[in-house]
Structure 1
Amino acid sequence: MIRSFVTVVSGTLASRLLGFVRDALMAALLGAGPVADAFLAAFQLVNVIRRLLTEGAFNAALVPAWLRIYRQDGMTQAAIFAGRVLGTVSAGLFAATLVLAALMPWVITVLAPGFAGDETLGLAVNEARLMLPYLAFAGPSTVLLALSSAQGRFALTAFAPLLFNVALITVTVALLLHHPGPADAALLLAATIGLAGLLQLAVLAHRRHGGSVASPARVSIDAEMRAFFAKAWPGMVASAGPQLLAVGGAIIASTTPSAVSWLYFANRLIELPLGLVGVAMGTVLIPELTRALHAGNQHALAEVQSRALELTIGLALPATLGLIILNEPVIRLLFEHGAFTADDSVATARILTWLAAALPAQVLTKALQPGFFAREDTQTPLRATLIGCGVAIALAFLLGQAFGASGIAAGLALGAWANAAVLVRRGATRFGFAISSTSRHRLLRIALAAIAMAAVLWGASGRILDASGGHGIGAAAALLALIAAAVLLYAALLVVLDVVRWQDTVRAIRRQPAGDLHL
C-alpha cells in the first residue's frame, strides 16, 4: 500500500504544484475583480465535475464493482461490464454537456445569484459554455483511469491530471506576454479548458492496453447498469464534499465584490494537502479495502485502515498548523502579483485561516469514506455529505451577514466538521473501525510532532520574515527556507519519536504490489 500511496501522492503533488503556478499566473492576469469573479464562478462549476469524476471519486463506485465481477466471473465478463460503463458514461456526459450549454444562464444564476442583472453574469455564461467540452471528454477518461486503479496501475492515474495544468499554464503565459484585455483573456482561458480535456483523453486512449481492460464501448441502460449507477452517483457526490462546500461558499459570496475570488484562491492552498490525501485514499485505499473484505482477512483490513489514518493525519495536521501560521506570507508569495493587490492578500489570508481549520475534518472524511465504499455502501457517505453541506450553507449565510467573507469561510469549516462527525458516528455503529493499538500510539506521537513543529515555526516566522523585508526575492527565499526547515524538523521529530523508521519506509516503497490483477 505504501508504494502505491507514494506513487499517487507524487503525481498529485506535481499536479497541485503546477496548479499553484497556474493560479498564480491567473491571479496576475485577471486579478480579483468582476472579470475574475465571472471566470472563477464558471471554472468552479467545471472544476467540481472534473474533481468528482477524475480525482478518485468515480473509483469509489467502479473499482469495487469491477473487482467483484472479475473475481466471480473472470476477466471476460469484467471487460464486458467495463465496456458498457465506458459507453454509457461517455454518452451520458455528452448529453449533459449539451443540456448544460442550453441552460447555462439559469445554472450560473443559481451558482452566483449576486451576478443577476450585472454584466458579470454574461461573462460567466460565455466562459462556462467554452469550458463545457471538457466534461464530454472527461467521461471516457474517467472510466479508463478507474480501471487502471482497479488493476493496481496507479502511475497513469496519478500523472494524467498534469496535462490539464500544463495546457492552462502554457496559454496563460502566452496571454501575459501579449497583454490582451482581461475579458478576452478569460475567454481564451475558458476555451483552453475544453481543449485540455481532449488532450488528456488522447493520451489515455493511446496508452490503453488493447482490449484487456474493457471490451468495445457500448451504451446500455439495462437493469445491471441502472443498479450500478444507482450505487455510483451517491458515492461520487459524497466524494466531492469539499468541492460542494466551495460551490456553496461561492453562491453566498457572489453578492460581495471580489469575495468569490478570495474564497477560490484561499481554497487553492487547502487543496494541496487535501488533494494529496483525498486522491491517494480514493485511488489506493478502496482497492486495498475491497480485496481485504472479499478475502475475509480481518488482520489485513485493520492494517489498511490503520495505515490510512496514520498517513492522512500525518500529512494533514502539520499542513493545517503551517497554513494558519504562515497564511498571509504564503498568499503574498503565490498571488500578490499584477492585478492581485495587497488588500486582496489580506482578505484571502483571513479566509485561509478558517478553511485551514477545516482541513483535519476533510482529510478524516477522505480516510473514512473508503470503508463504506469498499462495502458498496454509498448512501451513508452521501447522507453525511448532505448534512455537512446543509450545516455549512446555513452557517455561512448567517455568519456571512455578520462577518463578511471570513464568516462564510467559518461556516464552511463548521460544515466540514459536521460531515466528519456523522461519518465517525455511523461507521462506529455499523461496522466499527479496526484501528490497531500500535497505530493509536503512533497517532499521539504524530500529533506531538506536529505541535512541536508548529511552536518552533510560530516562534521563528515573525523574526525571519520581518528581517527579510516582507517583499521581493529575499522575502520569497526566506519563506521557502522557513517552510523547508519546518518540513525537515517535522520529519526528524517523526523519526525521534519512533513514528517512522527509515529502513521500514524504504522496504515498503520498494515492495511490489500484489500482482493478481496485472494483466
Structure 2
Amino acid sequence: MNIFKTSFNIAIVTLISRLLGFFRDILIAAILGTGIIADAFFMAFKFPNIFRRLFAEGAFSAAFIPIFSKKLTVNKLDAKKFASETASALFWFLLLLITIAELFMPFIVYVIAPGFIEDTEKFNLTITLTRIAFPYLLFMSLVALISGILNSIGKFTAAASLPIVLNTVLIFFLIIIKELNIPNTPVAAKYLISGVFISGALQLLLIVYVCKKTEYLPNIRIPKLTPDVKKFLFLGFPAIIAGGITQINLLIGSIIASFENGAISYLYYADRIYQLPLALIGITIGTVLLPELSRNYKAKDFAKASFSQNRAIELSLVLAIPATFGMIILSSDIIHVLFERGYFTSADTLATSHALIAFSYGLPAFILIKILQSNFFAKENTITPMWFSLISAIINIILSIILFKKIGFVGIAISTSISAWANTILLLLAISRTKDIIFDYRIKINFLLAIICSLIMLVSLSFVKKNILVIEEYFYSDLYSFLILSFYVLIGIIIYWIMAHIMGLLNTKKND
C-alpha cells in the first residue's frame, strides 16, 4: 500500500469535512459566543464525543483493526464472525451504559463540570443537553467499528467522509436558529444538540449501507464472551486509555476550566483550530499506517515495517513543524477571521488566540503520538502505550491545577502540550529499544531541515506582517481580513516550499 497516496486521498476528504466544520464553528461563535449557553452546549457536546473518540481512536484502532486484519489474511469467515461478536458486545454494553448515564446525569455533570454547580441555570441546561446528546455515543461507536472493518479491507474514504454529515446537519440547524432569531438562548442550544443526535443516526445508516455492499457487515445478536471477544477486551481497555489520551487530557482540562466563566468555550474554539492539522496529518497517516504495520508484522517483514514507520514519522514532521510555527504567528489573525462576529467579541479573540498558541506548541507531539502508538497497536501491545498515557495524564492534571491557579485557562492548554511531549518522548524511547524499528538517518536530517525551513518562514512572515500596508478602516471587514490572512498563509507556504525544495526536504525518493 502506498501510504503517501492513500493518506493524501483521506486528507482531501478530511479537509472538506474540516472546512465545513470551521463554517459550523463560525456560525456557533456568532450565535452562541462564549457565555453561559455556549459553555453548557460545548460541555454537553464534548462529553459523548470524548467517549466516541476513546472507542474510535482507542479500542477499535488499537485492538479491533489488528485482530480483524490478521484474521482476514487467514479466514474471511472468521473475520466476519469476530466483527459480529464484537459489534454485539459493544451494542448491548453501550445500551446499558447510556441507560445508566441518562438516569444519573445530574451526578455525571457535577463530576465533569463541578464549576457549573454555582450557576443553577448553566448546570440544569448542561444536564438537559447532555441527556439529549448522549445516545450519540451508541451511534458513533458502531460507526467506529464498521469504519475499522472498511479500513482493514482498504476502503478508507467512506469512513473519512462521515464527519461531513455531522457538520452539514449542524449547519442546517444553525441556519434554522438564525431564521427563528433565537441566538444565545437555551432553545437554540437544544436545537443544536438535537442536530448532534440526528447526525449520529444518519452516519450509522450511511456506513451500514456502504458496508452492506461488502461481505463483512456485522450482525447484532445476543452477546457471547468468546475467546476473540476476550482478547479484544484485553487489548481494548488499555487501548482506550492510550489511544484516547488527547481526549482524556481535554476532558481533564474542561473539568478544571469549568471554574472560569467562558474558559470552556475559549479552549473549544482553540482546540478546533489545531485539530485541523492533527486530523489531516496525524489521524490520516495513523489510519493508513496501522493496518499496514499489522500486515507487515504478521508476515514478519520487519524491514518493510521499519520503512513504513520511518516514512510516516518523516512525513508527519515535515508537515507538522511548519503548521506549528504558522499557527503561533497567525493565531490572532486566524481567530479574528473565523470567529469574531455576532456574540464573539474582540476580547474573546484575544483569549482564544492565547489558548491556540499554547496548544500549538504541542501539535507535533499530538501528531507523533498517533503515529508512534500504531507501532505498538500493530503488535497487539496496548499495555505499554497505556502506561505512558497514564503518566502523561498525571503530568497534565498536576500542571493544569498549578498553572490554572496562576494564569487561568491558558495554563490548561500549556499543560496539555507539555504532557503530550512527555508521552511522545516515552514512546520514542520504548520503540528505540526494540530491534523491530530502527529510526534511520533520513528522519533526523529532515527533522532538522524542517525546523530550519520553518524558522525562515517564521522570520519572513514576521517581517511581512510588520511591513504590509494594513488599512485600518477596512480591518474589521470580513472579506478584507480573510484576504489578509489568506495572503499570510500563502506567503508562508511558498517560503517553506521554496526552502524545503532548496534543501532537498521534499525529495521523497532519496535513499535512506
Residue 373 of structure 1, CA deviation: 0.4
Distance in 2 (CA, whole Å) between partners of 1:56 and 1:287 is: 14
Per the alignment, residue 324 of structure 2 pairs with 320
Residue 265 of structure 1, CA deviation: 0.8
Per the alignment, residue 491 of structure 1 pairs with 497
CA contact 2:143–2:204 (8 Å) conserved in 1: yes
**Which blocks of at least 5 consecutive residues in structure 1 are unaligned?**
506-519
Per the alignment, residue 198 of structure 2 pairs with 195
Residue 395 of structure 1, CA deviation: 0.7
Distance in 1 (CA, whole Å) between partners of 2:187 and 2:34 is: 16
| CA deviations over 1:21-78 (Å, ceiling 9, x no partner) | 1111111111101111111111111221232334576222111101222233x11111
Per the alignment, residue 346 of structure 1 pairs with 350
What letter corresponds to residue 283 of structure 1 in structure 2? T
CA contact 1:292–1:298 (8 Å) conserved in 2: yes
Residue 467 of structure 1, CA deviation: 4.2
Distance in 1 (CA, whole Å) between partners of 2:412 and 2:218 is: 47
Change (3 A) 1:485 1:126: same
What letter corresponds to residue 137 of structure 2 in structure 1? L
CA contact 1:94–1:135 (8 Å) conserved in 2: no
Residue range with higher mean Cα deviation, 430-439 or 12-21? 430-439
Residue 382 of structure 1, CA deviation: 1.1
CA contact 2:306–2:436 (8 Å) conserved in 1: no
Residue 222 of structure 1, CA deviation: 2.8
CA contact 2:58–2:244 (8 Å) conserved in 1: no
Per the alignment, residue 152 of structure 1 pairs with 154
Whether 1:424 and 2:425 are equivalent positions in the alignment is no
**Which blocks of at least 5 consecutive residues in structure 2 are unaligned?**
none
1:157-306 matched pairs, under 5 angstroms:
157-181=159-183, 182-210=185-213, 212-218=215-221, 219-306=223-310
Q: TM-score, normalised by structure 2?
A: 0.94
Residue 432 of structure 1, CA deviation: 6.2
Whether 1:47 and 2:49 are equivalent positions in the alignment is yes
Residue 392 of structure 1, CA deviation: 0.9
1:138 to 134, 137, 140: 140
Residue 216 of structure 1, CA deviation: 2.8
2:10 to 4, 8, 11: 8
2:442 to 438, 455, 466: 438
Residue 277 of structure 1, CA deviation: 2.4
What letter corresponds to residue 491 of structure 2 in structure 1? A
What letter corresponds to residue 202 of structure 1 in structure 2? L
| CA deviations over 1:166-209 (Å, ceiling 9, x no partner) | 11111112212221152100011111101101100111111124
Residue 435 of structure 1, CA deviation: 2.3
Per the alignment, residue 84 of structure 2 pairs with 83
Per the alignment, residue 96 of structure 2 pairs with 95
Per the alignment, residue 514 of structure 1 pairs with none
SS class of match (2:9): helix
| CA deviations over 1:360-412 (Å, ceiling 9, x no partner) | 21112112110110110011111111111111111111111111122222222
Residue range with higher mean Cα deviation, 347-356 or 234-243? 234-243
CA contact 1:465–1:478 (8 Å) conserved in 2: no
SS class of match (1:256): coil
What letter corresponds to residue 255 of structure 1 in structure 2? F
Distance in 2 (CA, whole Å) between partners of 1:288 and 1:372 is: 13
Per the alignment, residue 33 of structure 1 pairs with 35
Whether 1:310 and 2:311 are equivalent positions in the alignment is no
2:484 to 458, 465, 478: 478
SS class of match (1:208): helix
Distance in 2 (CA, whole Å) between partners of 1:86 and 1:289 is: 24
What letter corresponds to residue 207 of structure 2 in structure 1? L
SS class of match (1:340): coil
SS class of match (1:6): helix
CA contact 2:70–2:295 (8 Å) conserved in 1: no
Whether 1:123 and 2:129 are equivalent positions in the alignment is no
Residue 215 of structure 1, CA deviation: 4.9
CA contact 1:61–1:236 (8 Å) conserved in 2: no
Distance in 1 (CA, whole Å) between partners of 2:44 and 2:141 is: 19
CA contact 2:114–2:258 (8 Å) conserved in 1: yes
Change (3 A) 1:14 1:56: farther
Residue range with higher mean Cα deviation, 30-39 or 278-287? 278-287
| CA deviations over 1:424-466 (Å, ceiling 9, x no partner) | 2222234564222233323322222222212211221233374
SS class of match (1:116): helix
CA contact 2:49–2:137 (8 Å) conserved in 1: no
Change (3 A) 1:220 1:492: farther
What letter corresponds to residue 90 of structure 1 in structure 2? F
Residue 227 of structure 1, CA deviation: 2.2
Change (3 A) 1:465 1:253: farther
Superposition RMSD on alpha carbons, in Å?
Answer: 1.9
SS class of match (2:29): helix
Distance in 2 (CA, whole Å) between partners of 1:263 and 1:209 is: 39
What letter corresponds to residue 254 of structure 2 in structure 1? A
1:369-518 matched pairs, under 5 angstroms:
369-431=373-435, 433-464=437-468, 466-467=470-471, 469-472=474-477, 473-501=479-507
What letter corresponds to residue 118 of structure 2 in structure 1? G
Residue 313 of structure 1, CA deviation: 0.8
Distance in 1 (CA, whole Å) between partners of 2:432 and 2:469 is: 45
CA contact 2:109–2:126 (8 Å) conserved in 1: yes
Number of corresponding residues: 503
Per the alignment, residue 515 of structure 1 pairs with none
Distance in 1 (CA, whole Å) between partners of 2:70 and 2:170 is: 38
Change (3 A) 1:57 1:446: farther
CA contact 1:164–1:197 (8 Å) conserved in 2: yes
Distance in 2 (CA, whole Å) between partners of 1:318 and 1:463 is: 22
Residue range with higher mean Cα deviation, 393-402 or 222-231? 222-231
Distance in 2 (CA, whole Å) between partners of 1:336 and 1:350 is: 15
Fraction of identical pairs, as percent: 31
